[in-house]
Structure 1
Amino acid sequence: MPSPRVSRFFDQVDQAEFAFCRMINSSLRFRPVTMLFQVVSRLGDGWLWYALILSLPLMYPDEGLAIALLMTGAGLTCTLTYKCLKRTLVRERPFISFPVIHCGTPPLDRYSFPSGHTLHAVCFTTVLALTLPALALVVLPFTLAVAASRVVLGLHYPSDVLAGALVGGVMGVVWVALGAGPLLAWFGTVAAG
């Protein structure tokens, strides 16, 4: 249960973001927009990232396995972090707080702060940007679409998405700083030996 102070803060922020959320969410009137963001959201559940992680060793034989392991560790840390934050901060999703905002796809859990989809997408893209920059440029449009989908589908406030992006970016940098050197060195030694 969040403190009364946290609840009051989120109530104020929710009210401030309501009009923008409603405007963005109104694009669901257009079936192609709904379908596009539903697909992006579903792929952002993890499916695209799992496929990418599994394919890295095939695409990049020298460093792919090390980067795949790095992304796996970062992803697990992201999951633990956002679940802990959601349970602690307990911010209701926009479509729950404001019934005029339509839910474009079923959420994976009840609470909205921070956006776990955005957190993972930005973390993985950050890891790639620091290890395989060309591949990061390829996935960047998907990452931006995932972030946008969260507000369009009525699942998150913009501040949820921003918080997820900040936390994910920091986690990606930390994982690369702490793990990339040792993993790449170890796999380089194994490959050479």
Structure 2
Amino acid sequence: MASTSKASRLFELADQREYALCQSINRTIRFRPVKGYFQLVSRLGDGWFWYALILSIPFMAPAHGQNIAVLMAFTGLTCTISYKGLKHWLIRERPFISFPAINCATPPLDRYSFPSGHTLHAVCFQAMLFATLPALAWAILPFTLSVAASRVVLGLHYPSDVAAGALIGGLMGWTSVQLFGDLLQLSQTVAAG
């Protein structure tokens, strides 16, 4: 309980400091094309884009694609468990809840804000792709960056939620490939890439 109250006090201070930046980024949804684009990116980032990508990797990289896909699926599951646990332990309210001037442009998938699960997954998968299939990783990078930006643009997260999600996700993706790449014979893919 003591750590939760410390986290709550820290988040209250951070919320106040990030509010102005968060609100100014969120104002871009006044432009319909911006709002529509980031709503679409957010919806695809709910998992649909990543599921399709994971299912298609065995066809794009026949030599080791199935192993990469399996590793991405299991790492993605680990990401989900991790971010959900962190959100329920740390309990940071979303910006649009704490500050009515911030507009929520799409319904959130869960209640709490820290860290951004969308960003965590996107950066995790991005890191895994850079380690195993760099050409594909470069093609996916604009989508990953758009997912991260969408979280603040749509009023769902503070910039620090996105930064934390990116850091955690990047570490989880990189660590997964380092720990299990040899087991799944991905080291040859990395060397060939």
TM-score by length of 1: 0.94
User: How far apart are 1:179 and its partner, in Å?
Assistant: 0.9
- Please report how far the alpha carbon of residue 182 of structure 1 lies from its aligned counterpart in structure 2 after TM superposition: 0.9
Residue 152 of structure 1 corresponds to 153
Deviation at 1:3, TM superposition (A): 2.4
Cα distance in 2 for residues equivalent to 1:178 and 1:5: 33
Deviations 1:23-62 (A, max 9, x none): 0000111111000000000000010100000001111111
Q: Which residue of 2 aligns with 1:142?
A: 143
Deviation at 1:4, TM superposition (A): 1.9
Alignment of 1:1-193 (within 5 A): 3-184=4-185
1:39-92 residue CA offsets vs partner (Å, 9 max, x unmatched): 000000010100000001111111100000110111000000000000000000
Aligned pair count reads: 187
Instruction: Give the AA of the match of 2:29.
Output: L
**Alpha-carbon distance between aligned partners in 1 of 2:179 and 2:6, rounded to the nearest angstrom:** 35
Which residue type is aligned with residue 141 of structure 1? P
Counterpart secondary structure, 1:110:
coil
Note the C-alpha offset of 1:106: 0.2
Question: Equivalents in 1 of 2:77, 2:6: separation in Å?
Answer: 30
SS in 1 for 2:73: helix
State how far apart, in whole Å, the 1-side matches of 2:56 and 2:13 are: 44
Question: How many angstroms does 1:5 deviate by?
Answer: 1.5
Cα distance between partner residues in 2 of 1:78 and 1:99: 30
**Structure 2 counterpart of 1:147, which letter?**
A
Query: Aligned Cα RMSD in Å?
Result: 1.4
Give how far 1:144 is off: 0.3
SS at match of 1:150: helix
State the alpha-carbon separation in 1 of the partners of residues 8 and 53 from structure 2: 38
2 CA distance for matches of 1:177 and 1:7?
34
SS of 1:167 mapped into structure 2: helix
Per-residue displacement from partner, 1:133-188 (whole Å, max 9, x unpaired)? Answer: 00000000000000000000000000000000000000011100111111126xx9
> 1:191 — aligned with what?
none
Matched residue type, 1:139: I
Query: Aligned partner of 1:68: which letter?
Result: A
Q: Which runs of 5+ in 1 are unaligned?
A: 189-193
Contact 2:4-2:89 within 8 A present in 1 as well: no
State the one-letter code of the partner of 1:130.
A
User: 1:56 and 1:16 mapped to 2: Cα distance?
Assistant: 42
